Chains A and B, each alone.
Chain A
Amino acid sequence: MPLKGFWGERMGIVRVRKGFHEARWEEPIVFELSNEGERGILIPVDDKIKREVGDVLSSIPEHMRRKDPPRLPEISQMRVLKHYLRLSQETLGADLNIDIGQGTCTMKYSPKVNERFVSMVRELHPYQDEETVQGALEIMYKLDLFLREISGLDRFSFQPGGGSQAIFAMASIIRAYHKKRGEDRDEIITTIFSHPSDAAAPAVKGFKVITIYPDPETGIPDVEALKAAVSRRTAGMIVANPEDTGIFNPRIKEFCDIVHEAGGLCGYDQANANGIIGIVRARECGFDMGFFNLHKTFSSPHGCGGPAVGALGVRKELETFLPVPVVDYDPARKLYYLNYDLPDTIGKVREFYGVFPVVVRAYAWIMALGEEGLKEVAEIAVLNNNYVMHRILREIRGADISYPANKRRIEQVRYSLKKLKDETGVGAEDVIRRMADFGFHLWTSHHPWIIPEPLTIEPTESYSKEELDEYIEALKEVFREAYEEPETVINAPHRSVIHKIEDNSWFSDPKKWSITWRLFLKKHGGKL
């Protein structure tokens, strides 16, 4: 019998936060707060200490000493603290909003208890002796075993610091594999709706990239195009499935078979795994390798380029190509150890063995859920997504799905607001900005922009029905405004940290953009 809460039946009131308002002021850039000579910590240096320590600089070779001090902001500790605390109040973070509008990012809840576990390992140093970190190595070893079960692959490395780096590592393995066999193959095949990094990372590795388009009706990658793409030059295929449209390619095994027949390897971008864990495995799909983003599917928050792990798994035949070190267990010594001895290793894609706190969260998350729980995550993520899609298509005028002939979507949907744009002049970018006025971070869909006015929503399993309903109600409100008072949406946001940016050239013009303060001064002389 279900428990009856203190308040009787569920309250379940869905209400759009109409009065929502973000904290808003013009916080200076930390460099602008700098005062010459201001310091965070003043270290007392008297003659006695100088005599004891000696001239430390002399141990650094002359040519390695910097001529000028680094141009860092000069600012006291307390002012730094306040500056960043203020900035933190001007965000729409994952714990503040219903963060389902960042399709492809899998913005789900990361249990706070996992932060307790992470706080226990934060002090570990990567150069610590193995014998002193046996527990940490055991966690990595066991997470490897878990992921083997989830993927059907045979061995994992946690070294790649994110999805793109894992793709880069897969491209490196593909190259090393063919080189070892004495074969000269230089083409990687991908699909247009796989993540753009599936093309970009192999390109950085020196491969030619061949992209295939989907069937224009169903959105499923065109198998005939794949047949036309493979040749004796084919080194491999790297694709996502489901793709960023939320569409799953049911013929993926056939795809892998075609590539194998041509002599290539198949790499699986499983960044979109949240709707298929416990249901579909890389091995049965025919892949030779693949990666999970632990910072998406497995608990760690996916935070703006923050600490991440692209857990890279391979089949037995490719195990010796993995980056080093991997974690092994020596039963004779009863010790876990870092194994650098892989004969075909691609070397390192990053220092050490991976971002350990992310590994810890993934381990804790899997342990908490168990086998059935993992499967339930996928099922609820798919259910939530299809619930949201069903309501949006039924209740919101102006919203369509991409490839409407195919109504099956896995964990996310790339919607198209073309109809809204045609009928009202309000496009996806406007809706995105207006949603911020209701407290939601809705994100731009990344390219390619084949689907007109795209909007990608990924509800995940974390959010309650009330929250999904609130999100839909907010969307409905914005769409109503688009038809009745379009200027409100077009000029949004009105209650956010920043106003609408009219001039995109600050992002697109190499003469204007500055990704560092130093570059900004150089390009603009400190003046806007």
Chain B
Amino acid sequence: MKKLGLIVNPIAGMGGRVGLKGTDGPEMLRKAIELGAKPWAEDRAVEALKALLPIKNSLVIYTYPHKMGENAAKRAGFNPKIMGSIGEETTADDTVRAAGDMKDVGVDILLFVGGDGTARDVCRSIGTSLVTLGIPAGVKVYSSVFSTSPKTGGELALKFLRGEINDIIEAEVLDIDEDSFREGRLSVKLYGYLKIPYDSSYIPGGKVPSSHSESYDREAIAAELLDIIENDVIYLIGPGSTTKEVMKLLNLDFSPLGVDAILDGKLIGKDLNERQIIYLISGRKAKVVVTPIGGQGYVFGRGNQQISPDVLRRIGKENVIIVATRGKLESLRGRPLLIDTGDESLDIELSGYYKVITGYREYTVYKAVPASTLES
């Protein structure tokens, strides 16, 4: 028997329908309900679960009571095992607790239905200890852990449970500050990673099944970086699982979400903030290695704000190294990479063509533009 964990965030996505940007916190939820928001996460969960009916007899679904999964599983035609208990109104803590219980049961895959906030809660609870997959139901779905639709999510889970997916990758969980998001500013942090089954047809930016593996490409990029790294130059390694692969190859400790610095193969700074970076690179030659974070192609200004305008001016455009897997670039479908440092004149200076490292001895010349030009 295979075990599938299911967590539905019942309030996910409610804000979006009524023009709010997210429902994090009780205040916003109340407002959303006042505006007539209806729960829809359960419908999304049912849609995803229906794809799993072909293996109904060899699958046990573990879930939380009522609207956190039980209802959805039953509506989809399953007879789930119910764990835990919940109150009248669910909170982030319920998600955290449920994910922890799923981990204890040792489910083969954990499906969670929600948005970036839900992904963040799951990540906080279990990190990369389980294979998970997000079913998109939130207002904000910037993280790379979600399937393209509930149906494709169910199909992907089915393939994984049947042993047909070989590529398990760490995907980014992005944390968007809802307060500033509601005010029209986008402040994005890379919150962490979840382990997901990867098949490019099911994950956003989807294409037909690809012959190259995402995890192999990341290793190949790291191998190329090792080949071109110069002595006596500080390399700032920005956040992102593609950039951090080089740290693994060098057997160095690193901060998965922060900026680390290496010099001559040694770690000289971990999880640096802007001030520490500036101190470190003063009077030295430095290069910075970054990768597009999230699905929109931002190389600066999303999840790597430590690499500030001041830092970038000191480093210079010619010392910016962009790395991205072929799959990542293909998923942009020709759209340019985006720069949003918070300093418009610097964004313009940094725009232009980059030789993006896409593999071992493989480069793609790709255009980067100020994010503001795209928005206008």
Residues on A lying within 8 angstroms of B by beta carbon are: 192, 199, 203, 207-214, 216, 222, 224-229, 425, 427-429, 444-445, 447-454, 503-505, 508-511
Give Cα distance in the complex from A192 to B326, angstroms: 11
**Interface range for B:** 20 to 34
Query: Are A228 and B353 touching (Cβ within 8 A)?
Result: yes
Contact with A along B349-376 (1 / 0, CB 8 A): 0001111001001111111000000000
Give Cα distance in the complex from A509 to B199, angstroms: 12
Query: Are B335 and A209 touching (Cβ within 8 A)?
Result: no
Is B164 among interface residues, defined by CB-CB distance under 8 A? Answer: yes
Smallest Cβ-Cβ distance to A509: which chain B residue: B166
30 example contacts (A-B, Cβ-Cβ < 8 A) are as follows A192-B364, A199-B362, A203-B362, A208-B362, A209-B363, A210-B355, A211-B358, A213-B334, A213-B365, A214-B334, A216-B334, A222-B367, A224-B353, A225-B365, A227-B353, A228-B352, A229-B355, A229-B365, A447-B210, A448-B326, A449-B200, A449-B208, A449-B330, A452-B207, A452-B333, A503-B162, A504-B164, A509-B164, A510-B166, A511-B166
Task: With both chains docked as a complex, state the minimum distance between the C-beta of A223 and any C-beta of chain B, in angstroms.
Answer: 11
Is B163 among interface residues, defined by CB-CB distance under 8 A? Answer: yes
In the bound complex, residues from chain B placing their C-beta under 8 Å from that of A503 are 162, 164
Contact with A along B214-229 (1 / 0, CB 8 A): 0000000000000000
Is B57 among interface residues, defined by CB-CB distance under 8 A? Answer: no
Is B249 among interface residues, defined by CB-CB distance under 8 A? Answer: no
Residues on B lying within 8 angstroms of A by beta carbon are: 151, 162-166, 200, 206-211, 326, 329-330, 333-335, 352-355, 358, 361-367
In the bound complex, residues from chain B placing their C-beta under 8 Å from that of A229 are 353, 355, 365
Task: With both chains docked as a complex, state the minimum distance between the C-beta of A489 and any C-beta of chain B, in angstroms.
Answer: 16
Smallest Cβ-Cβ distance to A444: which chain B residue: B208
Task: With both chains docked as a complex, state the minimum distance between the C-beta of B94 and any C-beta of chain A, in angstroms.
Answer: 33
Query: Are A213 and B211 touching (Cβ within 8 A)?
Result: no
Most central of A214, A216, A508, A510 by chain B CB within 10 Å: A508
In the bound complex, residues from chain A placing their C-beta under 8 Å from that of B166 are 505, 508-511
Give Cα distance in the complex from A509 to B209, angstroms: 12
In the bound complex, residues from chain B placing their C-beta under 8 Å from that of A208 are 361-363
Query: Are A211 and B364 touching (Cβ within 8 A)?
Result: yes
Task: With both chains docked as a complex, state the minimum distance between the C-beta of B99 and any C-beta of chain A, in angstroms.
Answer: 28
Task: With both chains docked as a complex, state the minimum distance between the C-beta of B323 and any C-beta of chain A, in angstroms.
Answer: 14
Query: Are B365 and A212 touching (Cβ within 8 A)?
Result: yes
Give Cα distance in the complex from A425 to B362, angstroms: 35
Query: Are B163 and A505 touching (Cβ within 8 A)?
Result: yes
Query: Are A225 and B208 touching (Cβ within 8 A)?
Result: no
Give Cα distance in the complex from A453 to B206, angstroms: 9
Task: With both chains docked as a complex, state the minimum distance between the C-beta of B279 and any C-beta of chain A, in angstroms.
Answer: 33
Query: Are B330 and A225 touching (Cβ within 8 A)?
Result: no
Q: Which 6 A-B pairs have the closest CB atoms?
A: A228-B353, A449-B207, A216-B334, A505-B164, A208-B361, A225-B365
Give Cα distance in the complex from A425 to B201, angstroms: 13
Give Cα distance in the complex from A226 to B365, angstroms: 8
Give Cα distance in the complex from A227 to B365, angstroms: 10
Task: With both chains docked as a complex, state the minimum distance between the C-beta of A188 and any C-beta of chain B, in angstroms.
Answer: 10
Give Cα distance in the complex from A211 to B354, angstroms: 11
In the bound complex, residues from chain B placing their C-beta under 8 Å from that of A226 are 365
Task: With both chains docked as a complex, state the minimum distance between the C-beta of A102 and any C-beta of chain B, in angstroms.
Answer: 16
Query: Are A210 and B363 touching (Cβ within 8 A)?
Result: yes
Query: Are B362 and A211 touching (Cβ within 8 A)?
Result: yes
Task: With both chains docked as a complex, state the minimum distance between the C-beta of A486 and any C-beta of chain B, in angstroms.
Answer: 12
Give Cα distance in the complex from A397 to B330, angstroms: 26
In the bound complex, residues from chain B placing their C-beta under 8 Å from that of A510 are 166
Give Cα distance in the complex from A451 to B206, angstroms: 10
Query: Are A210 and B365 touching (Cβ within 8 A)?
Result: yes
Give Cα distance in the complex from A209 to B363, angstroms: 6
In the bound complex, residues from chain B placing their C-beta under 8 Å from that of A192 are 364
Task: With both chains docked as a complex, state the minimum distance between the C-beta of B331 and any C-beta of chain A, in angstroms.
Answer: 9
Query: Are A225 and B333 touching (Cβ within 8 A)?
Result: no
In the bound complex, residues from chain A placing their C-beta under 8 Å from that of B329 are 213
In the bound complex, residues from chain A placing their C-beta under 8 Å from that of B366 are 213, 225
Task: With both chains docked as a complex, state the minimum distance between the C-beta of A305 and any C-beta of chain B, in angstroms.
Answer: 17
Give Cα distance in the complex from A192 to B164, angstroms: 29
In the bound complex, residues from chain B placing their C-beta under 8 Å from that of A213 are 329, 334, 364-367
Most central of B163, B210, B334, B366 by chain A CB within 10 Å: B334
Smallest Cβ-Cβ distance to A422: which chain B residue: B149
Give Cα distance in the complex from A445 to B330, angstroms: 15
Give Cα distance in the complex from A225 to B368, angstroms: 11
In the bound complex, residues from chain A placing their C-beta under 8 Å from that of B333 are 216, 450-452
In the bound complex, residues from chain A placing their C-beta under 8 Å from that of B364 are 192, 210-213
Of A427, A450, A453, A454, which is within 8 A of B334 by CB? A450
Task: With both chains docked as a complex, state the minimum distance between the C-beta of A187 and any C-beta of chain B, in angstroms.
Answer: 8
Task: With both chains docked as a complex, state the minimum distance between the C-beta of A297 and any C-beta of chain B, in angstroms.
Answer: 27
In the bound complex, residues from chain A placing their C-beta under 8 Å from that of B151 are 425
Query: Are A429 and B334 touching (Cβ within 8 A)?
Result: no
Give Cα distance in the complex from A209 to B362, angstroms: 5
Query: Are B211 and A447 touching (Cβ within 8 A)?
Result: yes
Give Cα distance in the complex from A199 to B358, angstroms: 13
Task: With both chains docked as a complex, state the minimum distance between the C-beta of B198 and any C-beta of chain A, in angstroms.
Answer: 11
Task: With both chains docked as a complex, state the minimum distance between the C-beta of A465 and any C-beta of chain B, in angstroms.
Answer: 31
Give Cα distance in the complex from A209 to B366, angstroms: 14
4 new A-B contacts, CB < 8 A, other than A211-B363, A503-B162, are A213-B367, A229-B353, A428-B208, A447-B210
Give Cα distance in the complex from A211 to B357, angstroms: 10
In the bound complex, residues from chain B placing their C-beta under 8 Å from that of A511 are 166
Query: Are B164 and A225 touching (Cβ within 8 A)?
Result: no
Give Cα distance in the complex from A189 to B208, angstroms: 25
Task: Take A450-B207, A452-B207, A454-B208 as given contacts and tell me if A225 and B367 are in contact as well, using a CB distance cutoff of 8 Å.
Answer: yes
